[in-house]
Each structure stands twice: as C-alpha cells, then as structure tokens.
Amino acid sequence: MSKQIKDMIVAEYKRRFDDVGDALIVDIRGIDANDNNDLRVDLLGKDIHITVLKNSLAKTAFEGSNLEALTTTLSGPSALVFGGDSVVDVARNLVDWAKKVKQLELKAAILDGELFDGADGVKRLSEFPTKDEAQGTVVALVLTPAGNLVKAATSPGSNLLGIIKEIKSRLEEGNTIEKIA
C-alpha cells in the first residue's frame, strides 16, 4: 500500500473517530456471514457501528485522541465498535452477542480514558450503570432523605391533629379530659 493511500486512510480514521471517546475493540473473524449480518443489523438498529481497522494505521490515527489507550490492544484482526446511548450499552449488547456467537472475541473497551482489557474487562464494563441509570440512582438517593424528612415532619403533626380533634369532640360532649391514649 502506498504512503498516499495510508495517509488517506489515517485521515479518514481521524475524521470518522474524532468525536468518539468511548468504544470497544472486538475480533469478528470466523463469524459466518449470516451471524455477521445479523450482528451488524441488530447493532445498527441501536445506532451502534462496527468498523474493521487496519491496526498500524489505526494506531497512528488514535495518537493523541481519546482512543489512544486502545492502541495496546490492536493486534490481529480488530474492529472498533462505537455509538449507541453509551459505551456500557454497547458492551452489554456485545456481551449478549458473544454468548450467541462463540467466535466473537471481546478484546478491550475504553470509558472516559480508562482501559478495560480483555473479555473480562468488557464484561465488567457491561455491569456498570448507564448514564441514565446512574442519574436515576442519584436522584433517588437525593430524594429519599427529603421524603423521610417530610414524613417525619408531617407524622407528629398528623398525630397532634388527631389528639386535638379528640379533645374537641370530648369537650363538645361535655366530658372531662383526664388522659387521651
């Protein structure tokens, strides 16, 4: 391959992956055509993209980018998987696909500059909460003490209101008030 062609491919990788900060590296070698098509169509329906890479050119393109940590995992046939709502969703989808298609090899993932190496790293990443799930957990944690505070503040008040009503009804009936239980 000529130097001009290599430079064009590196420039295309830089353009295509410029705004990609989180991604996975997989090996899709050995997957039969039908499974490969099913995998790609399923992932594309979730806005997840797969791009087969030329390792040496990808290493050059990734230098100084958010994907630079992945360059250590680029050996043998490699494909970059990115997109979706979050890299955690991508990892979950690929872990599910790896159970169905044994030839799919999960090589690595990167999330906010942290490298998750090997299939175990990708599986560990797939167990992380997504951004929406994490935000929901934080909201729940923030609101729980406030809810408990409201319950605590209104509970004695509701008991006090019940006592006042009982006193009022007894006084209206002409009874003396000794002790209200």
Lowest mean pLDDT across 44-48, 76-80, 163-167: 163-167
Handedness of CA 32, 37, 43, 44 (dihedral sign): positive
Q: What is the pLDDT, as a whole number, of residue 153?
A: 60
Query: Could you give the residue ranges of the DSSP H alpha helices within 106-130?
Result: 118-126
Lowest mean pLDDT among 53-57, 78-82, 109-113, 134-138: 134-138
Least confidently predicted of 13-27, 75-89, 106-120, 159-173 = 159-173
Between CA 28 and CA 101 the distance in angstroms is 10
Helical ranges in the chain per DSSP H: 3-16, 33-45, 55-62, 87-100, 118-126, 131-173
Predicted local distance difference test score (pLDDT) of residue 30: 85
pLDDT above 70: residue 3: yes
In sequence order, which residues have a C-beta less than 8 Å from that of residue 94 and are 6 or more positions away? Answer: 24, 26, 81, 104, 106, 122, 126
Phi, psi torsion values for 152, nearest 5 degrees: -65, -35
Determine contact, residues 82/43, Cβ cutoff 8 Å: no
Please state, in angstroms and rounded to a whole number, the distance separating the CA atoms of residues 52 and 81: 9
112-165, pLDDT tens digit by residue?
Answer: 888 888 888 888 888 877 777 777 777 776 666 666 656 656 665 566 667 777
pLDDT reported for residue 152: 59
- Does residue 78 come out as left (phi exceeding 0), alpha (psi in the -120 to 50 range) or beta? beta
CA terminus-to-terminus distance, the chain: 93
Instruction: Please check whether residue 132 is in contact with residue 85, taking contact to mean a CB–CB distance below 8 angstroms.
Output: yes
* C-beta of residue 78 within 8 angstroms of C-beta of residue 27: yes
Residue 10 is predicted with a pLDDT of 87
Q: Cβ(167)–Cβ(153) under 8 Å?
A: no
Q: What percent of the chain lies above the pLDDT cut of 70? A: 86
| pTM for this predicted structure | 0.68
